[in-house]
Amino acid sequence: MFHREGFKIIAITFIIVGAMALTADAYITNHLIKYGVQGVALTILVLILQFFRNPKRAVQFNLNEIIAPVDGKVVVIEEVEEKEYFQGKRKQVSIFMSPLNVHVTRYPASGVIQYSKYHPGKYLVAWHPKASEENERTTIVIKTPKFGDILYRQIAGALARRIVNYAKKGDKAIQGADAGFIKFGSRVDLFLPLDCIVTVGLNQKVVGAKTVIATLRDGDE
C-alpha cells in the first residue's frame, strides 16, 4: 500500500526506469554495463516505492495516551519554552525520520484541531537545535479530552522540500489516522503538558500509531 502523495512520483519513476532499462537493452552491447544500468534503475524504483509505503496499522484508541505520530528515533526529550502557541513551558519529544523510515504523519491523539499554520523557512539538517523554529514547518494543535491542548510540528530537513498537512482548524482528529506526509528526511516535534509522563527514552526507535509516547499521571485519568 502506497501513500497518495507518492502516486505521481511513483508513476514518473516507473516511466523513467522503464525507459532506462529498455534503452540499455537496445543500445548497450557490453553485458556488464547493461546489467549495471538496469540494476541502478531497479534500485531507484525500489527506493521510491519503499519511501512512499503506507502500512495500515490497527490503533488501540486510548484517550489517556499520546502515541507516536511518525516512525523514527527519539532525539530530544526536554522541557522547553514553546513560543509560537503556548508561550510557556512544555515537554518536548522529537522524533527524527531517516529517508528509510515510513514518512506518514498520524494524529498522536483524538480531539479537535485548534490551530494549524504553515511556516516557510530554512532547510537545516533536521536534528539541528534551531530546526524547530527556523526550518520550513507546520504547527498543529489538538484539543484533547484528557491532556488539554497538545502540539505537534512537522519539520522539513535538509532533503525534505515539501510538507503535506491535512489538519485544518475545526477538523476532528482521530488518533492514528493519516494527518499528512513529509517527503524525505525530516522530524516531528511533540509539545506536551509538563505533568504528563513521557514513556520513551532517547535514541529509542518508535513506530507511528503504535508506540506510546506519553501517559497521564496517576489520578489524572
- pLDDT tens digits, residue range 48-99? 887 778 788 888 889 999 999 999 999 999 999 999 999 999 999 999 988 7
Report the 10 Å Cβ neighbour count for 187.
28
State which H helix or E strand residue 89 sits in.
strand 88-97
Do residues 104 and 174 share a domain? yes
Catalytic residue among 94, 110, 132, 186: 186
Do residues 211 and 113 share a domain? yes
Do residues 39 and 83 share a domain? no
Do residues 40 and 104 share a domain? no
Which grid cell sits at 107?
A: 494524529
Query: For the chain, what percent of residues have pLDDT higher than 90?
Result: 52
pLDDT surpasses 80 at 147 = yes
Q: Give the range among 22-26, 112-116, 177-181, 217-221 with minimum mean pLDDT.
A: 217-221
Summary mean pLDDT of the chain: 88
**Alpha carbon distance 31, 157 (integer Å):** 39
Do residues 20 and 120 share a domain? no
Question: C-alpha distances in angstroms, 37 versus 16, 18, 43, 44, 49?
Answer: 12, 11, 10, 11, 19
> Coil, helix or strand for 74?
strand
Q: Is residue 221 part of a domain?
A: no
Report the 10 Å Cβ neighbour count for 32.
8
Do residues 145 and 199 share a domain? yes
Tell me how many domains the chain contains: 2
Q: Is residue 96 part of a domain?
A: yes
| Range among 55-59, 111-115, 124-128 with highest mean pLDDT value | 111-115
**Alpha carbon distance 113, 168 (integer Å):** 6
pLDDT surpasses 60 at 126 = no
The residues facing 88 across adjacent strands are 82
Q: Is residue 31 part of a domain?
A: yes
Residues spanned by the domain of 72: 65-215
Q: Please write the tens of the pLDDT for every residue from 154-170.
A: 988 655 557 889 999 99
98 is catalytic: no
Domain CATH code at residue 186: 2.70.70.10
User: Does the model's pTM come out above 0.85?
Assistant: no
Average pLDDT (174-178) is 95
| Residue 32 per-residue DSSP state | H
Which grid cell sits at 38?
A: 538496469
Do residues 73 and 154 share a domain? yes
pLDDT surpasses 70 at 205 = yes
Integer Rg of the chain from CA? 20
Do residues 102 and 169 share a domain? yes
Do residues 165 and 97 share a domain? yes
Q: Is residue 59 part of a domain?
A: no
199 φ, ψ to 5°?
Answer: -110, 10
Q: Is residue 57 part of a domain?
A: no
Do residues 73 and 47 share a domain? no
